[in-house]
């Protein structure tokens, strides 16, 4: 029942430090199961999806020690559990990574159908295709997915669809299989590469991550390591858009500029200035926002997770933009909220035509999912006046200390806890 209250119209100015990547963290935490030893994982973002992953590990029997806010020691040596508690697995999408990791170490796993953002159908047939090629059997019963396979054997897997999740589960399940596994038509996202690097630090033999073909030579044992997670590409992109959309000037620190190139290219086309430094980017805008075309695609294309944020900025461009969503069926749910703010957006299937309006107006808003929620935060920062955003738990799944970071950039944003007692007295 918490909400954000944002007084918009202020250009963001200053510096912001980017946290570790959510989508790498939620893959690397389950991967510590394979190490069967102590792992120290650094640069973990303090977000609720990481909390849920840690709770799952603990429920399965891992020993977990907090070393500092973003560093945990995880010891899976004496872990025995193979069934992920339902209530936890339903809280986030990435709980499916426990299937690959548990299958690899214990030969069996059970996970409830994962939760996460509602972006349309989110099948896992390609994950199961990889498990089955390695010799595991699967069954889905009353919302529970079970996989079993004592002696996994390396295989050739051609993914019918480029899938981040299936590529990651393919690697997790193959690292200790007998012989070599070749995964083809793989996702190339930075977090896929980060997981491969982590697995290799733990003694695995994974080659080719970041290309279409990943080769995994099975090893008999893996061990613990100390590993620092890469910076979050989408969190960085979100602050880049927020800087450009508010006509601000922000130095975004602790990033890998190469990972941001697809976002940088579109921001520059839309009229922002982006200066790339060693491990930072500086984003500013003084001129008009120009209309552009965006087509979301797997990496290195323009990331779908940035689509709602860019659309918000384009809603005040000087002309007509088109945004085509190429990954998810249902990723324009934030458009109704933007319409309340005066935006002029027509959605037809997977294409949104955005007719730029002079400005957005403040409104009461509701976050329907993580990135839609972040996009509404940017919209509220752009609008002159006070907007309120409900259902912010979606946003807090993926953005560490968003209120503090935005406040440091001069934003007027408050997180308001609704008091249920006061609410019922008022009714
Ligand atoms: N797909 C299948 N079969 C499968 C798996 C996927 O048909 O077995 C389809 C999906 O329906 C979709 C496409 O393939 O149309 C791509 O899905 P993918 O598997 O790549 O997505 P994911 O692994 O479930 C991750 C991120 C998402 C991000 C997508 C695309 C995590 C935990 N989630 O999801 O991130 O949108 O890749 O880049 O890594 C977010 O962070 O807000 C978020 C939703």
- Position 91 scores a pLDDT of 87
Indicate whether 426 pLDDT > 50: no
- Position 362 scores a pLDDT of 98
The whole-number average pLDDT for the span 126-136 is 97
Q: What value does the CA radius of gyration of the chain take, rounded to a whole number of Å?
A: 22
Q: pLDDT tens across 144-161, in order? A: 899 999 899 999 999 999
Q: pLDDT tens across 192-229, in order? A: 999 999 999 999 999 999 999 999 999 999 999 999 99
- Position 1 scores a pLDDT of 75
Q: Is 225 a catalytic residue?
A: no
Neighbours of 332 (CB within 10 A): 22
Indicate whether 271 pLDDT > 60: yes
Average pLDDT across the chain, whole number: 95
Return the residue whose CA atom lies nearest to atom 10 of ligand 1: 122
Which one is predicted more confidently, 379 or 418? 379
- Position 100 scores a pLDDT of 98
What are 332's two structure tokens?
């324009």
- Position 36 scores a pLDDT of 87
- Position 116 scores a pLDDT of 59
Q: pLDDT tens across 168-195, in order? A: 999 999 999 999 999 999 999 999 999 9
Burial 6-15 (b: 16+ CB within 10 A, else e): bbbbbbbbee
- Position 15 scores a pLDDT of 98
Return the residue whose CA atom lies nearest to atom 16 of ligand 1: 163
pLDDT > 90 fraction of the chain, expressed in percent and rounded: 90
Q: pLDDT tens across 308-365, in order? A: 999 999 999 999 999 999 999 889 999 999 999 999 999 999 999 999 999 999 999 9
Edge-to-edge order in the sheet of strand 108-112: 108-112, 144-148, 137-141
Q: Are 252 and 240 in contact (CB under 8 A)?
A: yes
Q: Are 95 and 89 in contact (CB under 8 A)?
A: yes
Which one is predicted more confidently, 119 or 84? 84
Distance CA 39, CA 48 (A): 21
The whole-number average pLDDT for the span 6-27 is 98
32 CA distance to ligand 1 centroid (A)? Answer: 22
Pocket around ligand 1 at a 6 A CB cut-off = 23, 26, 93-94, 117, 121-127, 161, 163-166, 187, 304-305, 327-328, 370-371, 398
304 CA distance to ligand 1 centroid (A)? Answer: 9
163 CA distance to ligand 1 centroid (A)? Answer: 6
Q: E strand or H helix at 181, and its extent?
A: strand 180-184
Indicate whether 421 pLDDT > 60: no
Identify each DSSP E strand in 300-340 by its residue range: 320-324
Indicate whether 121 pLDDT > 70: no
Return the residue whose CA atom lies nearest to atom 39 of ligand 1: 23
What are 191's two structure tokens?
């977090």
- Position 119 scores a pLDDT of 61
CA atoms within 13 A on the CB side of 115: 15
Q: pLDDT tens across 37-66, in order? A: 999 999 999 999 999 999 999 999 999 999
Burial 291-322 (b: 16+ CB within 10 A, else e): bbebebebbeebbbbbbbbbbbbbbbbeeebe
- Position 150 scores a pLDDT of 87
Residue 112: which of 132, 148, 85 has the closest Cα? 85
Q: 40 in helix, strand or coil?
A: strand
């Amino acid at each position: 029942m918490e909400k954000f209250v944002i007084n918009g119209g202020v250009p963001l100015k200053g510096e912001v430090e980017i946290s570790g990547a959510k989508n790498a963290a939620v893959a690397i935490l389950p991967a510590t199961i394979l190490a069967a030893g102590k792992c120290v994982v650094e640069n973990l973002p303090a977000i609720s999806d990481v909390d849920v992953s840690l709770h799952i590990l603990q429920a399965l029997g891992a020993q977990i020690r907090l070393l500092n806010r973003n560093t945990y020691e995880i010891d899976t040596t004496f872990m025995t559990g193979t069934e992920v508690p339902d209530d936890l697995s339903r809280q986030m999408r990435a709980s499916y990574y426990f299937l690959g990791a548990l299958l690899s170490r214990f030969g069996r796993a059970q996970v409830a159908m994962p939760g996460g953002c509602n972006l349309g159908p989110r099948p896992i047939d390609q994950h199961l295709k990889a498990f089955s090629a390695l010799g595991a059997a699967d069954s889905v019963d009353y919302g529970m997915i079970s996989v079993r396979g004592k002696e996994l054997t390396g295989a050739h897997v051609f993914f019918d669809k480029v899938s981040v999740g299936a590529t990651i589960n393919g690697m997790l399940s193959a690292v200790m299989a007998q012989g070599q596994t070749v995964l083809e038509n793989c996702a190339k996202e930075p977090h896929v590469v980060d997981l491969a690097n982590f697995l290799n630090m733990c003694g695995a033999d994974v080659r080719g991550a970041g290309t279409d073909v990943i080769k995994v030579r099975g090893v008999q044992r893996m061990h613990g390591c100390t590993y620092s997670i890469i910076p979050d590409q989408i969190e960085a992109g979100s602050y880049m858009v927020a800087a450009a959309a508010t006509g601000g000037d922000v130095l975004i620190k602790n990033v890998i500029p190469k990972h941001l190139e697809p976002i940088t290219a579109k921001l520059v086309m839309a009229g922002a200035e982006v200066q790339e430094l060693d491990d930072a980017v500086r984003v500013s805008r003084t001129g008009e926002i120009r209309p552009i075309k965006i087509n979301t695609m797997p990496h290195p294309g323009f990331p779908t997770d940035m689509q709602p944020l860019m659309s918000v900025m384009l809603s005040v461009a000087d002309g007509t933009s088109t945004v085509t969503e190429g990954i998810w069926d249902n990723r324009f749910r934030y458009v109704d909220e933007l319409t309340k703010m005066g935006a002029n957006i027509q959605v037809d299937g997977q294409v949104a035509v955005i007719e730029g309006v002079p400005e957005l107006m403040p409104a009461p808003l509701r976050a329907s999912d993580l990135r839609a929620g972040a996009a509404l935060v940017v919209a509220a920062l752009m609008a002159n006046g006070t907007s309120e955003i409900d259902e912010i738990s979606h946003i807090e799944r993926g953005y560490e200390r968003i209120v503090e970071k935005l406040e440091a950039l001069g934003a007027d944003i408050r997180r308001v806890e609704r008091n249920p007692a006061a609410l019922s007295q008022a009714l």
